Chain A
Amino acid sequence: MSFFKSPVFRIAMTHLVSKKRQTIVAMLGVTFGIAIFIFQAGLMSGFQSTFIEETVNTTANVRIYNDVQEVRQSILEMSNTNKNAWIVVRNQKPKDEDPKVKDGKQIMDLIEKDPEVLGVSPFIGTQSLFRLGLAQASGRVSGVNIEKENAIFDLEKYMTEGNLLDLETSPNGIILGEGLAKKLGAKIGDNMTVTSPKGVALDMRVTGIHKSGITELDNARAFINIHNGQKLLGVDGSYITDINIKLKDINTAETIAKHYHDKFGFKAQDWKAANENIFSVFKIQNLVTYLIIISILIVSGFGIFNILMMIIYEKMPDIAILKATGFKDKDIKIIFLIESLMIGIFGGLLGLLIGFLMQKIVGSIRMDINGFVSMKYLKFNSSPGFFIFAYCFGLIVTALAGYIPARKAAKVDAIDIIRSK
């Protein structure tokens, strides 16, 4: 005999059907919990993965640079061997050292031969002041070999105006971030001035506007040719400040970064470390969201618990006679577990459906958000795995909420009930 025809299953279903209103209320608790889960956590995880994707796209897998701000021991501290003496060196300044990656060209040649590496791009960066007539803004200028840079960051995709490769062909081209261009009121073909901290000023012509989607970057970044970058800093043609590397497998970044650091002596930072602060913000955000969602599901769990307890108190005589006529404790427990699971299964399915519809509806409304990242529509995580996770979680909560009443029902002493009637 199949399980669905068994008396245990029939009794459970009859209880649920004869108490329609209570059953529906309990189901809606689960439905609401799962729908919120799908919507809220889906929104958050969708946003985060968009942000991470954009950030990772604009961060080199591994970046090699000369970290001049690294704290060094003073010579006095190094030479001191007396453990009982205190040494205080006040007002220690960083050594006047160029942030230059020495022998950058040779290092790049070596890295290019690494089979793990897809692309290497030299980079020279500095803070700069941008001026267009009376409008001015500060930002970071990136001197790059635009073809190599494009190979690593896929810059072409993010160009909103102008042609990326014009930077290579024009002697004084500059590509502005969208926000920066807006601040300056710059359009393609406009002439402007870029001034470096070294006091060098270059006249540039806007050849393109790009938009990475990360507002902070777009408000302050401009690309120029690497030679112009070297001119800005007043340095020779071998001078670079960073080497950006793209790897075949981004998950190997950490070990490869360490390897390069040991090999070349410069700081090598992988993309995870570079974006550590973002990931830790997300961790806290996730924690808070999931706590809220879990609370909602636990509250709906209590709903199921209460309703089952009510059913059990009401059905004490039924439990007694079932036991007297040969139903085992286990059978009684299964009856009430089925009831809670049915509430979870159907309430959960409805919740998945409502959550999915909420995602689709809200996701189809044009939002034009310009915050942390800029996007036209809200992005949701609607992967099947996410739905399965939400559903399983809901089922676990309902099973736990049902288990305690079910065990109580199984422990009912038939004689106590019969005696008291």
Chain B
Amino acid sequence: MSKENYIFETKNLSKFFRDPVDFQALKNVDISIKRGEFVSIIGSSGSGKSTLLYVLSTLDTDYEGQIFLDGEDLSKKTKNQLAEIRNAKIGFVFQFHYLLPEFTVLENVMLPALKLAKYPEPEIKKRAMEKLEMLGLADQADKRANKLSGGQQQRVAIVRALINDPDIIFGDEPTGNLDSKNAQNVFDTFKELKEKFGQTILVVTHDMALAAQTDRSIRLHDGEVVK
């Protein structure tokens, strides 16, 4: 099993909460995700699926075991290195959109790219517009982020996750705040990204109907992967 086939891999991943009582939230989780796969993590509430996602996404560094992104061992990186990796290689879509309310849609999308500073600003702007166009949001570009509807905001959040062409997008209940129509719309967007652009996506969801539309579901129960 060569690492090249897997964009994302964990080995013996465990996580303990010590406060208020000792509790093992994740037990020796081994998962591997191929490039271009659209995978969902499912499980009842308290099964550890969100905890797993935070560990995988490098926001939570208090774990045991190893995480590999594109062959790189993330467990040995410093906080600043992880921030750089998140910036360049990971996209996030959370349950809440987390758009900066004072900025326009376009500025929100551009921020991670401005931080990365791989391209000059006009180029970043062009790329952001292309991606907004792709998701049918180009006409909203100059609106302030808090003027959009919930479904639109969540799709802007997806564009923001895409702006630096990440290796993987993590979704934490990305449809949790949306009605079923908008939820399906957002999910369709994910599917389109996967099918058209081969984008690797990992989402946590408790909506079984949506999970059924992904390539593969990983079920978590009491912090363990159920085969």
Size bracket, chain B contacts:
20 to 34
Q: Are A1 and B112 in contact (CB under 8 A)?
A: no
Interface residue stretch chosen among A10-18, A58-66, A101-109, A162-170: A10-18
In angstroms, how far is the closest chain A Cβ from the Cβ of B79? 7
* CB within 8 Å for A326 and B86 given contacts A7-B115, A415-B59, A418-B172: yes
State how many angstroms separate the Cβ of A321 from the closest Cβ of chain B.
Answer: 4
- Contact at B59–A414, with CB atoms within 8 Å? yes
Contact of A329 among B79, B116, B160 (CB under 8 A): B79
Known contacts A14-B102, A15-B102, A415-B54; A325/B115 CB under 8 A: yes
Q: Write the B82-121 contact mask toward A (1 if CB under 8 angstroms, else 0).
A: 0111111010101110111011000100011011110011
Closest CB-CB distance, A420 to chain B, in whole Å?
A: 10
Q: How many residues from A make CB contacts under 8 Å with B?
A: 29
B115 proximity list for chain A (CB < 8 A) = 7, 325-327, 331
Contact call B102/A324, Cβ cutoff below 8 A: no
Q: Which residues of B contact A325 (CB under 8 A)?
A: 86-87, 92, 111-112, 115, 160
The residue of chain A having its C-beta at the shortest distance from the C-beta of B80 within the complex is A328
Q: Which residues of A contact B121 (CB under 8 A)?
A: 1, 5
A17 and chain B: residue at smallest CB distance: B102
Q: How far is the CB of B84 from chain A (nearest CB, A)?
A: 6
Question: Are A323 and B98 within 8 A (Cβ)?
Answer: no
What residue of chain A has the Cβ atom nearest to residue B112's Cβ? A325
When the two chains form the complex, which single residue of A10, A322, A324 contacts B57, counting CB atoms closer than 8 Å?
A: A324
Given A14-B102, A418-B96, list of 10 further CB < 8 A pairs? A320-B98, A324-B86, A326-B84, A326-B112, A326-B116, A328-B80, A328-B83, A329-B79, A329-B83, A415-B59
Interface residues of B (CB under 8 A from A): 50, 54, 57, 59-60, 79-80, 83-88, 90, 92, 94-96, 98-100, 102-103, 107, 111-112, 114-117, 120-121, 160, 172
- The 3 residue pairs across chains A and B that have the minimum distance between CB atoms: A326-B87, A321-B98, A7-B114
Cross-chain pairs A/B with CB under 8 angstroms, 19 sampled: A1-B117, A11-B111, A15-B102, A17-B102, A318-B100, A320-B98, A322-B111, A324-B57, A324-B59, A324-B86, A325-B92, A325-B115, A325-B160, A326-B84, A326-B85, A328-B83, A418-B59, A418-B172, A419-B54
